[in-house]
Chains A and B, each alone.
Chain A
């Protein structure tokens, strides 16, 4: 029982204080899971981050299910995951209510007009980071290191999306399949 409570409280804190998302959450989880409670060793934690990077799902949720499962089985995994998203549920719920209640007011509209361009920029820079990682997988941005297969897939995918309004998930699956073929043939 104490273990469940500890799990709940630890991941509740992770959920509450993880502003910014993504890798910004990592130190917070590490602190709870490795330094305070010793539920995982550091190499195990590093593996967990690697898994999180190549699978869908937020790092915090992935960590909660992984750690919960490891130390307290399926109930542990469910408790940790629930604790981790509970703070966000409450806060986002309140914000959603406020947004839909007040968004037609001039003040709210004026403020949102300044926030929207920034959000577009945030999406663009997240996309650019992924793009650079795909084009230059070795971390060196130079013409010689360019992954031409990735450039080709990117251009083809963009054309299919713009010209034929293809579904993004089909485009992603197609890119995966073509990538698999081309990389294996060329290697």
Chain B
């Protein structure tokens, strides 16, 4: 797993923490905590992971977090598990990945066992319903907050194609039933086409290593 050293890392102020028990414990606890609040679909975990690991702990770069979300979406399986698995890998390689998996799965495992036992009582409970309704509005605000940050960053790159992709992808996922994995796949193809075109236009501008 040696990184090719002729290509330096892109400049950023984030570093993976040293592999220590403290790191593992923080990774476990943060992921566990986040997973316990990922209600309402896997995509909710992306803003939470970004806030925790990029904005707060600075273990991951913001753009890298977006890349990890794309990878998580392109692979089969639950998005929430895939995304935290990737974060775990970034923080502490394979041990980190295993820690993240366990931490992501434990909260639903425990909660589901408890809830299935008391399902009938909970389903009709007014207080539970009111709390859940309030939390749904809060979740929407958390997502809006992260979308504003990331969207502003994409627009700020002054790349017209990026803005077109963003608006098209938004319309497609909002108004049609197209599988989101297909959206990501199409964008990968667009990206490949774009790289090839750029290279043809500028001969000799290709990369040295492949």
Binding site for B on A (CB under 8 A): 15-22, 24-25, 47, 50-51, 53-62, 65-66, 69, 77, 81, 84-85, 87-89, 91-93, 95-97, 99-101, 103-107, 110-131, 133-135, 137, 147, 149-151, 153-155, 157-158, 161-162, 165, 167-169, 171-180, 182-184, 187
Q: Select one of B70, B139, B141, B206 contacting A116, CB under 8 A.
A: B70
Query: Known pairs A57-B108, A127-B43, A171-B138. 12 more at Cβ < 8 A?
Result: A19-B76, A57-B80, A89-B97, A93-B94, A96-B85, A105-B210, A110-B195, A130-B41, A150-B133, A154-B138, A161-B142, A168-B47
- C-alpha gap A154/B143 in the complex (Å): 11
- C-alpha gap A153/B123 in the complex (Å): 23
Q: B residues within 8 A CB of A116? A: 63, 66-67, 70, 154, 162
Determine if A107 and B183 form an interchain contact, defined as CB atoms under 8 angstroms apart: no
A153-B134 in contact given A93-B97, A101-B3 (Cβ < 8 Å): yes
B98-144 contacts to A, CB under 8 A, are: 101, 105, 107-109, 111-113, 115-116, 119, 123, 126-127, 129-144
A92-B112 in contact given A110-B198, A168-B47 (Cβ < 8 Å): no
Q: B residues within 8 A CB of A110? A: 191, 194-195, 198
Determine if B66 and A58 form an interchain contact, defined as CB atoms under 8 angstroms apart: no
B36 within 8 A of partner (CB): yes
**Which 3 pairs between the two chains have the least Cβ-Cβ distance?**
A179-B134, A57-B108, A175-B138
- C-alpha gap A105/B10 in the complex (Å): 10
B8 to chain A, nearest CB (A): 7
Interface on chain A toward B: helix, strand, loop, or mixed SS?
helix
A93-B141 in contact given A118-B183, A179-B130 (Cβ < 8 Å): no
Determine if B97 and A122 form an interchain contact, defined as CB atoms under 8 angstroms apart: no
Q: Select one of B43, B137, B143 contacting A175, CB under 8 A.
A: B137
B34 within 8 A of partner (CB): yes
- C-alpha gap A114/B67 in the complex (Å): 11
A94 to chain B, nearest CB (A): 9
Q: Select one of B37, B69, B82, B206 contacting A169, CB under 8 A.
A: B37
